[in-house]
Structure 1
Amino acid sequence: MTLNILFAAAQADWPDYETPLRDALKTEGLDADLRTSFAPELVDYMVYAPSSEVKDFAPYTRLKAVLNLWAGVEGVTGNETLNVPLARMVDPGLTQGMVEWVTGHVLRHHLGMDAHIVNLDHSWHHCAPPLAQDRPVTILGYGALGAACGEMLRSLGFPVTGWSRRPGDAPGIRRLHGADGLIQALETAEILVLLLPLTGDTENLLDATSLARLPKGAVLVNPGRGALIDDGALIDALTSGQISHATLDVFRTEPLPKEHAFWSLPNVTVTPHVASETRPRTAARTIAENIRRAEDGQPLKHLVDRARGY
């Protein structure tokens, strides 16, 4: 039987995804009709992004699963009309992009590269940075992305602490969990990387109290979610010197409004949500494999726990 698969994302993305998705579905041996429009009652699977016009899933009575194009699912997990399995995007291209961005910015701050790149007075500051082994890095959110970044940083010699809500093990990585573990993770973080999902428990996790627990002069790197941080508290910490620099890729409102204080602070770097983009070719393979698994009666990979929100 032919599977009807609806591409329910921004129409501007359709030209980039159409051929990779068709090729991947064919490679998985699936007889599929992939379109941007179907009568709702005919749809078997939905390739979805929260930017889609689809907000009410109730008319999709034949729907078997929703395959999210993005790693973040906070824009859809609370939708009470969605009553079928939801899979988030975890694919090699997305992971590699995050590893490259995080590693690049951690090394940038560790080596103090900004002082050499922007040196308008041609000053000669002969001051070598410590070795990586003497610069503790903490990653809050030690899932697939956090672990991939942690392993790369560990391979460069950084002592890495990974924190998550639940316990876990990783060779060569200091693993902490829970409320007490969070305090320990913050207290040693000269560079702090945020890779947590956005849930009711993680919103504003980096508030004035949390920021005060960091070593004075710590660096904050956030490619996770903007609302993990209390903006006002971060601005205060940057102004006082408690945080020496913040490199931010995600924000509560995107694009970041031109009047936002982050633009004018000299110790803030704004990047335009580019840390980890979904790459159509690798994402298409992940989606097609998941649909094939579902059709074979196997569990979906990267299934979202709706109660936890990720």
Structure 2
Amino acid sequence: MTVNVLFAASAERWEDYETTLKSALEQAGVDADLRTEFPPEEVDYIVYAPSSWLQDFTPYTRCKAVLNLWAGVENVVGNATLTQPLCRMVDDEGLTQSMMEWVVGHTLRLHLGMDLHIHGQDGKWRKYAPPVSQDRPVTILGLGALGQACGQALAGLGFPVTGWSRTEKEVEGLTCLHGDDGLVRALEGAQIVVLLLPHTPQTENTLNAETLALLPKGAMILNPGRGALIEDTALLAALESGQIAHAVLDTFRKEPLPVMHPYWAHEKVTVTPHIAATTRPETASRVIAENIRRGEAGEPLLHVVERGAGY
């Protein structure tokens, strides 16, 4: 029986995914009709980007699951018309690899003080020797698939890595903490903090004036997670006071980041345009195809969002 799969995203993304997703479905053994238009009552699965034209899921009465193209679901999880199972983009090896490379690259940049020499070509002999990695504690806030991969990569380079999550977890090579007390401990000893939490009401403003003050003076921050994890005014104040030495920010409350936003011109802030973890069609298509195969085989879907938790 042919499975009808609706691709509900931009025309640009359709160009990127049409061939690779059709191929992945074939390789997964799924007889699928993949299109950008169907009568709603004939759709079995929806491949979805929250920015798409589809915002009312009510007519899709036959739909078995909505398969999000991105890891973040904060822009769709609260949609009251979405009663079908919603699955996140997790275990996309391309997305994980790119996030790991961004985090490791910028961690090493901050750790080694590379900007001092890259931007200091003015004839001054600035002899700065950074500590070895074993003496630079790193904390990862968020121990999902991305947080675990980044934490283990940094631990493999010798950094002492503490991972924090809202609920208890165990990750090989990492010191794992959880809960409110664990957050305090995780921040108090961190010279570099990496934010990889989802955006939920519970995680919004995780870094605020109070929690930033817990960090050792001169700590550094990387945020490839979600813009709302940081209270912007508190971070700017901490940068001005020297409490925070530098922040590398890839995600923001409003994107693109407005031209007049103070982050752009701040000498202690690096802005990257939400590129840390880009969903890649070749690897993401395999994740989507596997979930459709599982749905048709009566197997449990992977990475189903817990609506109450928001991820």
For the superposition of Structure 1 and Structure 2, which TM-score range results when normalised by the shorter chain? over 0.9
2:140 is aligned with 1:139? yes
The answer to whether structure 1 residue 251 and structure 2 residue 291 are counterparts is: no
| Aligned-residue RMSD, C-alpha | 0.6
Deviation at residue 303 of structure 1 after TM alignment: 1.1
CA distance in 2, matches of 1:11, 1:256: 24
TM-superposed CA distance for 1:171, in Å, is 2.3
How does 1:146-225 map onto structure 2 within 5 Å? 146-225=147-226
Q: 2:232 corresponds to which residue? A: 231
Q: State the Cα distance separating 1:69 from its structure 2 match.
A: 0.2
| 1:125 alignment counterpart | 126
Q: Distance between the aligned counterparts of 2:4 and 2:86, measured in 1?
A: 17
Counterpart of 1:27 in structure 2 is 27
Shift of 1:61: 0.7
Q: CA deviation at 1:151?
A: 0.6
State the 1:10 CA deviation.
Answer: 1.3
2:265 maps to which residue?
264
**Residue of structure 2 in register with 1:46 after alignment:** 46
* Structure 2 equivalent of residue 80 of structure 1: 80
Deviations 1:272-299, CA, capped at 9 Å, x for gaps: 0000000000000000001001111111
TM-score, scaled relative to structure 1:
0.99
Report the Cα distance in structure 2 between the residues aligned to 1:122 and 1:225, rounded to whole angstroms: 39
**Distance apart, 1:12 and its partner CA:** 1.3
Number of the residue aligned with 2:17 = 17
SS for the counterpart of 1:263 is helix
CA contact (8 A) 2:71 2:89 kept: yes
TM-aligned CA deviation for residue 120 of structure 1: 3.7
Deviates more, 1:180-189 or 1:115-124: 115-124
Q: Deviations over 1:51-104 (max 9, x none)?
A: 111001001011100000001000111011111111100110000010000000
- 1:17 CA drift (Å): 0.3
After superposition, what is the alpha-carbon deviation per residue over 1:22-66, rounded to whole angstroms, capped at 9, x for unaligned? 000000111110001111111000000111110010010111000
> What is aligned with 2:89?
89
2:9 is matched by which residue type in structure 1?
Answer: A
Q: How many angstroms apart in 2 are the aligned matches of 1:55 and 1:188?
A: 44
CA distance in 2, matches of 1:6, 1:87: 15
Q: How far apart in 2 are the matches of 1:265 and 1:112?
A: 17
**TM-score, scaled to structure 2:** 0.99
8 Å CA contact retained: 2:139, 2:194: yes
Unaligned runs of 5+ in 2: none
Conserved 8 A contact 2:152-2:172: no
**How many residues were matched structurally?**
310
Question: Structure 2 CA distance, aligned partners of 1:260 and 1:202?
Answer: 23
How far did residue 122 of structure 1 move? 2.2
Letter of the 2:146 partner, please give it. L
Report if the CA contact (8 A) 2:5-2:34 is conserved.
Answer: yes
* Letter matched to residue 291 of structure 1: I
User: Once the 2 structures are TM-superposed, how far is the Cα of residue 127 of structure 1 from its aligned partner?
Assistant: 2.0
Whole-angstrom CA distance in 1 between matches of 2:160 and 2:124: 32
Q: Unmatched 5+ residue regions in structure 1? A: none
**Greater than 4 Å deviation, 4+ residue runs:** none
Secondary structure at the counterpart of residue 213 of structure 1: coil
Of 7-16 and 100-109, deviating more is 7-16
| Percent identity of paired positions between Structure 1 and Structure 2 | 65
Q: Distance in 1 between matches of 2:79 and 2:248?
A: 32
Distance 1:252 1:185 in 2: 25
Shift of 1:172: 2.2
**CA offsets 1:254-283 (integer angstroms, 9 cap, x no match):** 000010000111000000000000000000
Aligned equivalents of 2:94, 2:30: Cα separation in 1: 23
Rounded to whole Å, the distance in 1 between the matches of 2:211 and 2:29 is: 50
Letter in 2 for 1:128: A
